[in-house]
């Protein structure tokens, strides 16, 4: 009898249920099949804007900066019907625009937004949510100066959450005070790239009222965005990006940009207070231990803009604290899940259920489902209990003097040498069976079965130098012709003319967007995992320790994470080199690097049950493909 009662209760929860929490003269929030229903008019929604007072004066004009907040909410919302909030805070509303179609805000004569970028407003407002498009401090119609992940960026966004919960002040354009009497105070932050980074940052402050975040292709540590273990990707990037997103006259924030240039430690590549302020896992402004919000992470393993160690380290830190969480891991480049081919409808529905659960309290079972969705080959997705795949185990691969890569350590006193010069990845992986003074390469034999890598490989080398330091690159390569996601071309997607719609539209703001397809290319190899380190940062990111010339030292570091299947008949390759000019602007030290092969290896998280076959001793039969045209991905301010 009790089981029948339980089943009846569960069935009742899926019926259309108006939420009677507040009396209202119009429609009430309605739930059916575990989802809020579109019972409110999008066309009649309230469109307004306010200016929230932040606790910072980033432009040093003597006044606290105000954050511009554009709001759209159901007409019925107010003291009698309070609604939760979905926030997309961005620096890009008046420059790069938002989404795959680079949408911008449009305003009416009163200064209210008539077109909100993306589908969030079209979809969620009819279902009983307010949607806020927030201009990051120093951008669009907000005051102040952008400081690229620092105090102004973080505390400006936090102030909006505080205002929604009665802890901060806001004003209308005429200077009159305004309170958010139409909201429950429960908020979500969502967004891709910089927008998702702001969500991570605000969550790391522990602000009350932020119930969930959905960081998409987002930064968790700006050091990881612009550094890898002391290797600098781009010089003066923070100041350059600040100038890009700030559409005010350049002179206004020049002193802020000059300060960033002076403090970013480009000359050493070290981690310092500047980067700690911009580290949301364990930095000066906030850290993962303060996170109250649940987290729905979306990232791709081939995002070489916001590189995937930004999600993997954040995800592990969240897991270590048992933060409620969910993850999608794709194979394209810097792409929103709304534009994963064949997944748009599923994404919209999954996000809907996630927000309904955390903001409206709908018991729809989403937190009891498998935690991870993973793309394992072009457009082929699997669902698993977590990421990385729990059954993947670290497997050590050992390079040998004959060019092989196998399951046993190399013979004692065997070594290989190369010179640290700036070299592109294309040149590093070309003709791997031929000697090249700028790199050494090792390959397995042909694989007898498919092998899936899931997680983060570790390079563990014992090296000596003839100079105090050298940059090191480790590449894990799949040698074998195959059709793979072509993430190098337009981040891996191509727009179609056909559209589909998600939400309600008006003449000024439609809910329809172009469909996309995944780019696929057939090539003889793929660089699967990449990792870089400056040898003098082998023991500490914040304090350089030169390696005495002629002395061996151990250098261990993580590559970028991956989820990738090496096919039967392919070969796994390990390439070791100096400065990777594809991703670093450094010139190389010119140091000669000697690798003690007997005490060097790479540890790769692989699925069980697939033995490796050692390469034959006669390696001359495998020359590898020649030089391929692998263009450098365009990462110059493609942070949107």
Tokens at 264, concatenated = 């970013």
CA angle, residues 513, 514, 520, in degrees to nearest 5: 140
For residue 185, the SS3 value is: strand
Closest among 164, 170, 203, 171 to 185, alpha carbons compared: 164
Kindly give the pairing relationship between strand 294-300 and strand 325-330: parallel
Q: Are 476 and 573 in contact (CB under 8 A)?
A: yes
Is 303 known to be catalytic? yes
Q: Are 148 and 222 in contact (CB under 8 A)?
A: yes
Q: Are 184 and 205 in contact (CB under 8 A)?
A: no
Residue tagged active-site, from 49, 299, 334, 570: 334
Residues paired with 396 in a beta bridge:
603
User: What is the distance in angstroms between the CA of the first residue and the CA of the last residue of the chain?
Assistant: 55
388 preceded by cis ω (within 30°)? yes
Supply the DSSP string of 52-118, one letter for each residue.
Answer: EEPS--TT-SSS--EEEEEEEE-TT-BTTB-EEEEEEEES-TTTT-BTTTTB--EE-TTS-EEE-SS
DSSP 204: T
Is 334 known to be catalytic? yes
Residue tagged active-site, from 58, 90, 96, 193: 193
Q: Which residues contact 621 (CB under 8 A, 6 or more apart)?
A: none
Alpha carbon of 500 to those of 119, 342, 521, 534, 535: distances in Å?
11, 12, 26, 48, 51
Q: Are 131 and 116 in contact (CB under 8 A)?
A: yes
Residues paired with 593 in a beta bridge:
418, 465
Residue tagged active-site, from 65, 266, 303, 580: 303
Tokens at 186, concatenated = 């429960």
State the Cα–Cα distance between residues 161 and 566, nearest whole angstrom. 46
| Residues acting as catalytic residues | 193, 303, 334
């Amino acid at each position: 009898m009790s089981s029948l009662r339980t089943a009846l209760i569960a069935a009742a929860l899926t019926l259309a249920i108006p939420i009677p929490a507040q009396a209202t003269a119009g429609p009430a929030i309605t739930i059916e099949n575990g989802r809020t229903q579109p019972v409110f008019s999008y066309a009649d929604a309230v469109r307004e804007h306010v200016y929230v007072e932040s606790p910072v004066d980033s432009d040093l004009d003597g006044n606290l900066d105000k954050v511009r907040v554009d709001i759209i909410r159901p007409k019925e919302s107010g003291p009698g019907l309070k609604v939760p909030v979905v926030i997309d805070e961005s620096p890009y509303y008046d420059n790069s625009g938002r989404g795959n179609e680079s949408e911008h805000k449009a305003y009416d004569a009163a200064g209210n937004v008539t077109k909100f970028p993306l589908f969030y407003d079209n979809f969620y407002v009819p279902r009983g949510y307010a949607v806020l498009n927030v201009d990051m401090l120093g951008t669009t119609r907000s005051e102040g100066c952008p400081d690229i992940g620092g105090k102004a960026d973080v505390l400006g966004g936090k102030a909006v959450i505080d205002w929604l919960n009665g802890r901060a002040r806001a004003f209308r354009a005429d200077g009159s005070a305004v309170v958010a009497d139409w909201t429950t105070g429960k908020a979500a932050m969502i967004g891709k790239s910089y927008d998702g980074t702001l969500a991570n940052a605000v969550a790391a402050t522990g602000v009350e009222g932020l119930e969930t975040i959905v960081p998409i292709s987002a930064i968790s540590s700006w050091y990881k965005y612009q550094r890898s273990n002391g290797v600098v990707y781009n010089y003066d990037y923070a100041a350059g990006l600040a100038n890009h997103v700030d559409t005010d006259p350049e002179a206004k924030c020049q002193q802020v940009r000059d300060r960033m240039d002076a403090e970013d430690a480009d000359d050493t590549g070290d981690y310092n207070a500047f980067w700690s302020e911009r580290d949301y896992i364990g930095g000066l402004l906030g850290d993962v231990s303060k996170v109250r919000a649940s987290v729905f992470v979306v990232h791709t393993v081939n995002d070489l803009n916001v590189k995937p160690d930004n999600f993997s380290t954040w995800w592990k830190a969240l897991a270590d604290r048992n933060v409620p969480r969910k993850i999608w891991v794709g194979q394209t480049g810097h792409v929103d899940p709304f534009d994963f081919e064949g997944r748009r409808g599923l994404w919209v529905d999954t996000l809907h259920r996630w927000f309904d659960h955390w903001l409206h309290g709908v018991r729809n079972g989403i937190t009891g489902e498998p935690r991870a969705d993973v793309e394992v080959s072009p457009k082929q997705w699997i669902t698993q209990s977590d990421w990385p795949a729990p059954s993947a185990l670290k497997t050590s691969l050992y390079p040998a003097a004959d060019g092989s890569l196998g399951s046993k350590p190399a013979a004692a006193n065997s070594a290989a040498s190369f010179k640290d010069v700036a070299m592109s990845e294309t040149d590093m992986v070309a003709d791997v069976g031929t000697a090249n003074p700028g790199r050494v390469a090792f390959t397995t034999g042909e694989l007898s079965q498919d092998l899936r890598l899931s997680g983060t490989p570790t390079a563990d080398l014992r090296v000596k130098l003839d100079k105090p330091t050298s940059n090191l690159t480790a590449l894990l390569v799949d040698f074998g012709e195959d059709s793979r996601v072509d993430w190098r071309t337009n981040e891996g997607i191509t727009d179609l003319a056909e559209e589909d719609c998600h939400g309600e539209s008006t003449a000024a703001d439609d809910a329809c967007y172009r469909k996309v397809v995944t780019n696929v290319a057939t090539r003889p190899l793929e660089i699967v995992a990449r990792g870089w380190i400056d040898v003098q940062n082998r023991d500490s990111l914040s304090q350089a320790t030169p390696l005495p010339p002629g002395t061996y030292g151990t250098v261990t570091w993580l590559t970028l994470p991956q989820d990738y299947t090496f096919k039967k008949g392919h070969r796994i390759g390990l390439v070791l080199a100096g400065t990777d000019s594809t991703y670093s602007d450094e010139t190389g030290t010119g140091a000669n690097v000697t690798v003690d092969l007997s005490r060097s290896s790479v540890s790769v998280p692989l699925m069980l049950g697939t033995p490796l076959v050692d390469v034959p001793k006669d390696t001359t039969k495998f020359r590898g493909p020649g030089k391929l045209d692998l263009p450098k991905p365009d990462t110059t301010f493609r942070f949107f």
